[in-house]
Amino acid sequence: FFEHSGVDPVGIGRAAWSDIRGGSAARQGGSTITQQYVKNVYLTPERRLSRKIREAVIAVKLEQEMSKEEILEAYL
């Protein structure tokens, strides 16, 4: 959490690869805490690529405006 800029490309890639290989039973999350916060506060939980892209863009912008500590406190 403290080492990324809102989005973790490695985590997203790992989750996508796991989902592709194992189908829905092996679903993994690739979202960072910042992305989860954005989804909960600003967006809906729908599972669409367009929502994930908006989530990632907003997460990066949020990381520029808030400190990690502020994001974590708001998330919790």
* pLDDT above 90 as % of the chain: 43
CB under 8 Å to 55, separation ≥6 — which residues? 31, 35, 38, 39, 43
Region 50-73: mean pLDDT is: 92
Region 21-37: mean pLDDT is: 73
Q: Is the pLDDT of residue 57 over 80?
A: yes
Distance CA 48, CA 51 (A): 5
Rounded to a whole number of angstroms, the distance between the first and last alpha carbons of the chain is 13
For 1-76, where are the alpha helices, taking DSSP H only? Answer: 9-22, 33-42, 49-65, 68-75
Q: Give residue 25's pLDDT.
A: 47
The whole-model pTM stands at 0.73
